[in-house]
Amino acid sequence: MRTPAFPPARIVASLATMLFTVTASHAEDLLPPKIVQQFLGKYCLECHDADAQKGDREFENFALPLKSEADLISAKEIIDQVTLKEMPPKKSDQPTDEERLAVLRALREGTVAARGKIESSGARTVMRRLSSREYENTLASLFGRRVDTLGLTGDFPKEKTSQHMDTIGKSLVTSGFLVDQYFQAANRLVEMRLGKPAMEPKNWRFNGHFVQYEELQGPHKSAFNYRYLNLYEQPNTDTRQGGYGHIEDFLKGVPVSGLYDIEVEAQALHRDTHYDPAIFGIDFSEPFILGVVPGDITKGHIHYPQPIEPLLASSVVPDEKPTWLKFRVWLEAGQTPRFIFPNGPFESRASVLEVNKRYKDEFKGKVSDSGVGRAHILLEGKLPHIRISEIKIQGPMPEVGGSAEEQAVFGKEGFQPERALDQLQAFAEKAYRRPLTEADRQPIRTFYEKRLAEKATPRQAALDSLKLILCSPSFLYFSEITEDSVKALTAYDLATRLSFALWAAPPDAELLASAKSGKLTQKAELTKQVRRLIADDRSSGFTNGFLDSWLNLRDLGSMPPPRETNRGYYAEDLPTSMKTEARLFFRDLLKNNGSVARFLHADYTFADKRLAKLYDLPEQKTLRLADGFQKVSFKDNPRRGGLLGMAGVLTVSANGVETSPVTRGVWVSENILGIQPPPPPDEVPAIEADISGATTIRERLAKHSTDKTCAECHRKIDPLGFSLESFDPIGRWRSSYPKPKNAKTPAPKVDSSGEFPSGETYTDFAGFKKIIRETREDLFTRHLIRQVLSYTTGRHMEPADDFEINEIHATVKDNRLGLQTLIVECLTSEIFRSR
């Protein structure tokens, strides 16, 4: 089993200084190997020498430096037992606290150093495959159309990450199952997009029999005999009653993949309802929105969420008066359009029950013993919803010059049997991202001829050969043509690495032309191309992928807060807004070469109406959803600014239910300062949550850390998290913790003060950020450089890389810490240009 990655040896010294400062004066004169040797000889070898080996543990030959996996396991066992004071046994002589701390520091430092060596890749990138994210991006780029409607990677094994990165070669393993999935994905893509039968456009019209399932069926039958298709709530709620509007008479879906024109007669009803807006949990000042997503009856319940349902189109729905809305969308064969209400009420069932309870006296119709019911509310009430009365579908619509896929593979002239091999090889050159060799051409030619011999039509033989190309290692892997003995990447390998680093997609024609000319290996040309790729909108591939890795935003939403206490988190889709804020902030710094110090503190951010409300900004009163994200000021606002004031960071560093200075402190240590604290001993119990609310997390930590072996680490970690206690699990500002139900005492106040091991103190979040900015800016910048290099090269940085990393850091400092400067220096460095 592969051991977890640890920081390289370069930062062992800083780890030792910051996390395990020696306090025992008599130990300061001893080297770590001697400390361990003396401790084992004095307290352990009586039971665990080569002869006794009590408990099958032998430590007589154990020594620093650690040289193997077995040594690492033994070190971990000793650390656990000494930390818990379970060894030596109670009846034996006991070490002093100073002796325990000294041996723990020595062993932890030795563990960090050993793992750095054992896991070393020799400062070379392991040849890696495309990640699932890069795979879909590459197919979309090659074929000129989105492929997310196909769900090609839906059944792929979950991608393994290394230190949250999905680009590290040693983690991107390929299994037999994944190979099979590649074949199935290639077959599905080729057959549904290029192997489909020719078909003239057809017309469908639906203006009745809009059956909706479960508890909606009866009310819709009695209220209007299925005359309307109604949307009552946003998709993906718990109740799922009216979140997806399907066409009951079109469950079989469209006959072939293609573009389809959809016309919908719809109206927004009762946006002006007199019912209490709190019942529905939405902003009635915003117009209702109608969205279109695909559905496939073979993939699950048509009125429930499905694995493949990207948003295909959306439009504002006018109030009251029925209006025709037009959409052109791409549907795969067998998919049927479904309609959603993305900014609708959070849960329809709950709102109907509440209206039934609070407004039943307004209804004149016969009321059952159980209450008013949905049918009466539909006929007489003011329940806000979207009503669809008619739907027209036409397609597949012809594309001028043939489909995008046809042109991408066979060119503007389309498939030519007499030129089939030339056409296939031209596409293979784009797919392989380099000129073809005879070794590349031969399998394509052999397979094409084999299929012809098997009586396949020339076109089918070509399509089957296309599947072969899409399953080739030259397509699926970053296939290096640089000789093993050569360190510097050749121009084509460099072009591929650069393009996937900044676009998460293959090189474009200009970058390939630069590689073909040989100029790309020259630093001036490489710098020019880096800046060009950054300026292109496709650099969002870097922004999104890198932030998901560096800040672990990929896990945002993996531990969601309880729905009952955080309704807005779901109803307003806050995770999407949170991610967008971080991406726009990063993108703005990159575009304008802003200082990376602004990641630690900035007097602005980018917010939409929903985030402005979460942050309690004045813009919440003026922004509309249609305005999207706007730059907003944090001047004179000490509660926000920089990454640590962003709701996305504060949410991903919490557990969704409560906050912990330990969890957030570890996050800050790892992701901002680049210091990975040692994990707690396995036997140490987690800090119990106090559901009564009688104690604060700080009080529980104080009790937990009375043992010096625990306090040794906690005093380094906890101060990094105490200031963030001013934010709840989804990043809202707070001055006190939630008051427990039925509690007679006031809610506990948040104490966001702390003291760094180095002596600096702070009283609040603003003071904490000031210390980080003024004293740890270099640490942060070097960590950011290492993260960029690791993400873009596909390997973690090692001690051998330190000299050049320091040079990059010096250049970035000389250029006012510009983020674009940092990226350019990283991507033109020898580290990036080497195997």
> What CATH number has the domain bearing residue 251?
2.60.120.260
Query: Mean of the pLDDT values across residues 780-807?
Result: 94
Q: Are residues 646 and 728 in the same domain?
A: yes
For residue 21, what pLDDT is reported? 33
Write down the H helix ranges in 551-673: 567-571, 574-592, 609-614, 647-652, 661-671
> At residue 616, does pLDDT exceed 50?
yes
Most confident of 8-12, 189-193, 217-221, 745-749: 189-193
| The two three-digit tokens of residue 315, written as one number | 């439009």
For residue 18, what pLDDT is reported? 31
> At residue 710, does pLDDT exceed 90?
no
User: Which long-range CB contacts under 8 A does 78-81 form with residues at least 24 apart?
Assistant: 78/44, 78/103, 78/107, 79/104, 79/107, 79/108, 79/111, 79/678, 79/681, 80/681, 80/682, 80/683
The pLDDT tens digits for 814-832 are 999 999 999 999 999 999 9
For residue 1, what pLDDT is reported? 31
Higher pLDDT, 89 or 583: 583
Query: Mean of the pLDDT values across residues 522-550?
Result: 97
Q: Is residue 221 part of a domain?
A: yes
Q: Are residues 738 and 809 in the same domain?
A: no
Q: Are residues 294 and 186 in the same domain?
A: no
Confidence class for position 76, pLDDT limits 50, 70, 90: confident
Cα–Cα distance measured from residue 99 to residue 83, given in angstroms and rounded to the nearest whole number: 11
For residue 14, what pLDDT is reported? 33
Q: Are residues 474 and 382 in the same domain?
A: no
Query: Mean of the pLDDT values across residues 456-461?
Result: 97
Cα–Cα distance measured from residue 520 to residue 526, given in angstroms and rounded to the nearest whole number: 5
Domain boundary among 92, 118, 144: 118
Query: Mean of the pLDDT values across residues 584-606?
Result: 98
Confidence class for position 17, pLDDT limits 50, 70, 90: very low
Query: Which range among 513-517, 648-652, 743-747, 809-813 shows the weakest confidence by mean pLDDT?
Result: 743-747
Q: Is residue 274 part of a domain?
A: yes
Nearest partner of 12 among 467, 674, 534, judged by Cα: 674
The pLDDT tens digits for 620-663 are 999 999 999 999 999 989 999 999 999 999 999 988 778 888 88
Query: Mean of the pLDDT values across residues 790-795?
Result: 96
Q: Are residues 592 and 722 in the same domain?
A: yes
525 residue type, one letter: E
Q: Any residues with CB less than 8 A from the CB of 382 and at least 6 apart, and which?
A: 270, 273, 274, 275
Domain count, the chain: 5
For residue 5, what pLDDT is reported? 37
Q: Is residue 494 part of a domain?
A: no
Question: Structural domain of residue 107, as residue ranges?
Answer: 9-118
For residue 696, what pLDDT is reported? 66
Confidence class for position 600, pLDDT limits 50, 70, 90: very high
Q: Is residue 749 part of a domain?
A: yes
Cα–Cα distance measured from residue 642 to residue 727, given in angstroms and rounded to the nearest whole number: 14
Query: Mean of the pLDDT values across residues 457-477?
Result: 96
Higher pLDDT, 587 or 64: 587
For residue 279, what pLDDT is reported? 92
For residue 2, what pLDDT is reported? 35
Measure the CA angle with vertex 721, ends 718 and 724; round to 5°: 155
Most confident of 46-60, 247-261, 651-665, 749-763: 247-261
For residue 39, what pLDDT is reported? 85
Q: Is residue 502 part of a domain?
A: no
For residue 98, what pLDDT is reported? 82
Alpha-carbon torsion 223, 227, 231, 235, what sign? positive
Q: Are residues 771 and 797 in the same domain?
A: no
Higher pLDDT, 308 or 100: 308
Q: Are residues 376 and 450 in the same domain?
A: no
- Quote the percentage of the chain above a pLDDT of 90: 64
> At residue 405, does pLDDT exceed 80?
yes
> At residue 480, does pLDDT exceed 80?
no
Q: Are residues 274 and 368 in the same domain?
A: yes
Query: Mean of the pLDDT values across residues 237-256?
Result: 91
Bridge partner residues of 230 (DSSP): 387
Higher pLDDT, 714 or 502: 502
Query: Mean of the pLDDT values across residues 176-194?
Result: 96
Instruction: Give helix then strand counts, H and E, for the chain.
Output: 31, 12
For residue 22, what pLDDT is reported? 32
Domain boundary among 460, 479, 498: 479
Higher pLDDT, 326 or 703: 326
Higher pLDDT, 545 or 242: 545
Q: Is residue 539 part of a domain?
A: no
Cα–Cα distance measured from residue 721 to residue 112, given in angstroms and rounded to the nearest whole number: 23
Q: Are residues 149 and 289 in the same domain?
A: no
Higher pLDDT, 698 or 458: 458
Q: Are residues 803 and 763 in the same domain?
A: no
Q: Is residue 540 part of a domain?
A: no
| The two three-digit tokens of residue 552, written as one number | 């672990």
* Cis? peptide before 65, omega within 30° of 0: yes
Token pair 């991006």: residue: 137
What rounded mean pLDDT belongs to the chain?
87
Cα–Cα distance measured from residue 333 to residue 199, given in angstroms and rounded to the nearest whole number: 12
- Say if strands 754-755 and 313-316 run parallel, antiparallel, or are unpaired: unpaired
Write down the H helix ranges in 173-279: 176-193, 217-224
Is residue 619 within 8 Å of 632, Cβ to Cβ?
yes
> At residue 812, does pLDDT exceed 60?
yes
Q: Is residue 537 part of a domain?
A: no
How many residues are there in the chain?
A: 835
Cα–Cα distance measured from residue 190 to residue 459, given in angstroms and rounded to the nearest whole number: 12
Q: Are residues 741 and 794 in the same domain?
A: no
| The two three-digit tokens of residue 305, written as one number | 């969420």
Q: Are residues 761 and 807 in the same domain?
A: no
Domain boundary among 77, 92, 118: 118
Cα–Cα distance measured from residue 115 to residue 11, given in angstroms and rounded to the nearest whole number: 13
Q: Any residues with CB less than 8 A from the CB of 10 and at least 6 apart, and which?
A: 799, 802
Cα–Cα distance measured from residue 242 to residue 213, given in angstroms and rounded to the nearest whole number: 9
For residue 414, what pLDDT is reported? 94
